[in-house]
């Protein structure tokens, strides 16, 4: 099955700096890669996603890049703000299957933005 | 449009008690999922249901059962709760296509003494 590894597990940055979180996946058939943000005590919420036919996608201060050859994808947050502090999860779809959109999640990155 | 609704939000059980966690979605999604999240850890899939009438085991199914009551509702049952099942439980749903995101409920915080 799919295996997703996420690094780093914790990341501390100064407000205004950039943050980068990296994920690798094992199943070359995976073709959908969402990122979720989870604030303390809250549910995971989708912040951005990318499909395999696209190499990069941006949404304001957030961008995701995908390298299918190397089987890795990254989340980039620019001009970080204290409200960006949360746990971020990457995930990969297992490709075509009979289980809707089954996702395999990375272990999470705790991002702390210092004012 | 409430999205994914879970009940209850909090529950404390004694070892050996049983309980059912409820989940309902109003997005007309075919697929639904149950996860558990332990402190400082990621999401582990317990069971999923690709469509009404079907259920399958995920990564950590032992000690749990599920029922897909209809298209909207997917319940998770603990028959004999154990302290190791203390966790936060999230329900999620998604459309059929494998390039569509999962939408999560607010979670049920379950403590087993």
Q: Give me chain A's average pLDDT, please.
A: 92
User: How many residue pairs bridge chain A and chain B with CB atoms within 8 Å of each other?
Assistant: 68
Find, among A28, A29, A30, the residue nearest to A49 by Cα: A30
Q: In the prediction, which pLDDT does B14 show?
A: 97
d(CA B47, CA B33) in angstroms, rounded, equals 6
10-residue block means of pLDDT along chain B (113 residues)?
A: 92 96 95 92 90 89 95 96 97 82 94 96
Chain A residues whose CB is inside 8 A of the B50 CB are 98-100
Contact A108 B41 (CB under 8 A): yes
pLDDT digits over B26-35, tens only? 999 999 999 9
Q: What is the pLDDT of residues A78-111, one digit of tens each?
A: 999 999 999 999 999 865 555 556 788 999 999 9
User: What is the per-residue pLDDT for A29?
Assistant: 86
CA A92 to chain centre: 9
Closest CA relative to residue B37, chosen from A44, A32, A35:
A44
Hey, are the CB atoms on B45 and A102 less than 8 Å from each other? yes
Cβ-based burial of A50 (10 A; exposed 0-12, middle 13-18, buried ≥19): buried
Is any Cβ of chain B less than 8 angstroms from the Cβ of A90? no
Q: Which residues of B touch A44 (CB under 8 A)?
A: 43, 90, 104
Residue closest to A30 by CA, chosen among A109, A87, A88, A105? A105
Which pLDDT score, from 0 to 100, does residue A25 have?
96
Average pLDDT over residues A5-26: 97
Angstrom distance (rounded) from CA B65 to CA B55: 10
pLDDT digits 0-9 by tens, A42-87: 999 999 999 888 899 999 999 999 999 999 999 999 999 999 999 9
- How far does Cα A35 stand from its chain's mean position? 4
When pLDDT is averaged across residues A34-49 and rounded to a whole number, the result is 95
Number of residues that this document lists for chain B: 113
Contact B94 A100 (CB under 8 A): yes
């Amino acid at each position: 099955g799919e295996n997703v590894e996420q690094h780093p597990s914790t990341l501390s940055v100064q407000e205004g700096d950039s943050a980068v979180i990296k994920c690798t996946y094992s199943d070359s058939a995976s073709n959908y890669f969402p990122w979720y943000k989870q604030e303390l005590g809250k549910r995971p919420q989708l912040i951005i996603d990318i499909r395999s036919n696209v190499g990069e996608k941006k949404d304001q201060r957030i961008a995701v890049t995908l390298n299918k050859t190397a089987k890795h994808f990254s989340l980039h947050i620019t001009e970080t703000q204290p409200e960006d502090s949360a746990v971020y999860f990457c995930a990969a779809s297992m490709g075509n299957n009979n289980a809707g959109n089954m996702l395999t999640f990375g272990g999470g990155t705790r991002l702390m933005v210092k004012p | 449009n409430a999205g994914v609704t879970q009940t209850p939000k909090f529950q404390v059980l004694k070892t050996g008690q049983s309980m059912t966690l409820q989940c309902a979605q109003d997005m007309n999604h075919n697929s639904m999922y149950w996860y558990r999240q332990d402190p400082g850890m990621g999401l582990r899939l317990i069971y999923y249901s690709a469509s009404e009438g079907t259920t399958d085991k995920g990564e950590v199914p032992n000690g749990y059962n599920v029922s897909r009551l209809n298209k909207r509702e997917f319940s998770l049952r603990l028959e004999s709760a154990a302290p190791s099942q203390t966790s936060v439980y999230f329900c999620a749903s998604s459309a059929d296509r494998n390039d569509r995101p999962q939408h999560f409920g607010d979670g049920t915080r379950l403590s087993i003494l």
